[in-house]
Amino acid sequence: MKDSHGRTIDYLRISLTDRCNFRCVYCMPEDGVCQMGHDEILRIEEIERLVRVAAGIGIKSVRLTGGEPLVRKGVVGLVETLTSIPGIENVSMTTNGVLLPRMIDDLKAAGLSRVNISLDTLDAEQFRAITRVGNLDDTLAGIDAALEAGLNPVKVNAVTVRSLNQDFLEFAKLSIDRPLHVRFIEYMPLGDTSEDSGTGWGKADVIPSEELCALINEQARAAGLPELRPAGASKPLGWGPARYFEFPGAQGTVGFISPLSRHFCAECNRLRVTADGKVRPCLFSDTEYDVRTALREGDDEAVHGVLLEALGAKPDEHHDKVGTDRKMSQIGG
């Protein structure tokens, strides 16, 4: 299905919950966000119904996210049902990885094909400071589990924040010995960005992808390593908005996602659905379309109508808007 700017929209990102077992500094306040009530959140059967209707308008890929999707009860059964819906070609997930070691076999058997694991640092103390409550080893074990289970591709997403002073070369090197696709994502202004919000965003903290790529190459040269070169055939499936590079001979790649320094709005192929059943045409816009009411009324035609309305409302680009009503954990990252 094409939107009014001629883009093919075939990708749906669904937030399963606004709850999370982490409290990442850029995503949630320390005490968690004001959580949605159980009744507000789409039920598993409602999500299945939504995806059936969405497949009818041309959605082919579904990504489950959150909050942390793996804390949502019924997630394995949901994956199994979604992968069996005619027209749905792949179901993937974005997770902090903590619950993967104990769930990966069931998820794989249910048909999960790809996973993105979020990890911003390889330093245990810094990991704890960023996530406020997490242990680095748990997320690393999640990455190991995904690779051992043979998921492909396994991507590692790192948000880059200048004041955090992350070790980007060490990160990029994760792509050398194993088929890991490391992606650096520019820090985005989501939610209340004021200083007293506890999760503030400042322009000074954004590291434009080009600057970061040059920095990694500089560090690589200093360490006697070859520089990154544009990735060839090894570019991972579902490459989406990232630009991919690789170290010569590496098994994986290094990608840069630049929502701020190089919008990919012209290539945008997605709709988002929040955990409380609002369809969001654009991450950076607070215009939302309620699909929960139609789902609860069992009215597939109305669900279809809401999806088309949201699709028709997709803006041409996000016009450098700063701040949104909701943070990433509420929208679904």
Site for ligand SF4 in 7-26 (CB under 6 A): 20, 22-24
Query: What is the rounded distance in angstroms from the CA atom of residue 49 to the CA atom of residue 56?
Result: 11
CB of 330 to ligand SAM, least distance (A): 9
| Residue closest to 37 by CA, chosen among 61, 19, 11 | 19
CB of 98 to ligand SF4, least distance (A): 8
CB of 3 to ligand SF4, least distance (A): 27
CB of 24 to ligand SF4, least distance (A): 3
Sign of CA dihedral 16, 273, 160, 117: positive
Cβ atoms 198, 232 nearer than 8 A = no
Which residue type does 240 have? G
Give the residues across from 256 on adjacent strands.
Answer: 184, 243
Burial 159-186 (b: 16+ CB within 10 A, else e): bbbeebebebbebbbbbbeeebbbbbbb
Out of 96, 166, 253, 274, the residue judged to bind ligand SF4 by CB under 6 A:
96
**Smaller CB separation from ligand SAM, 66 or 241:** 66
The one of ligand SAM, ligand SF4, none whose footprint includes residue 160, by CB under 5 to 8 A per kind, is none
CB of 316 to ligand SAM, least distance (A): 22
CB of 94 to ligand SAM, least distance (A): 4
Number of residues engaging ligand SF4 in binding (CB under 6 A): 13
The one of ligand SAM, ligand SF4, none whose footprint includes residue 187, by CB under 5 to 8 A per kind, is ligand SAM
Q: Is the peptide bond before 189 cis (omega within 30 degrees of 0)?
A: no
E-strand ranges in the chain read 11-15, 61-65, 90-95, 114-118, 154-160, 180-186, 229-230, 243-246, 253-257, 270-273, 278-280, 289-290
Query: What is the rounded distance in angstroms from the CA atom of residue 306 to the CA atom of residue 312?
Result: 10
**Smaller CB separation from ligand SAM, 158 or 291:** 158
Report the DSSP pairing between strands 180-186 and 253-257. Answer: parallel
**What is the chain's length?**
333
Give the footprint of ligand SAM on this chain (CB under 6 A).
20, 26-27, 65-66, 68, 94-96, 118, 157, 159, 185, 187-188, 190, 328-329, 333
**Smaller CB separation from ligand SAM, 139 or 217:** 139
Contact string 115-154 vs ligand SF4 (x = CB under 6 A): ---x------------------------------------
Site for ligand SF4 in 24-53 (CB under 6 A): 24, 27-28
Sign of CA dihedral 241, 28, 144, 83: negative
CB of 78 to ligand SAM, least distance (A): 15
The one of ligand SAM, ligand SF4, none whose footprint includes residue 23, by CB under 5 to 8 A per kind, is ligand SF4
Give the binding site for ligand SF4 (CB under 6 A): 20, 22-24, 27-28, 66-68, 96, 118, 328-329
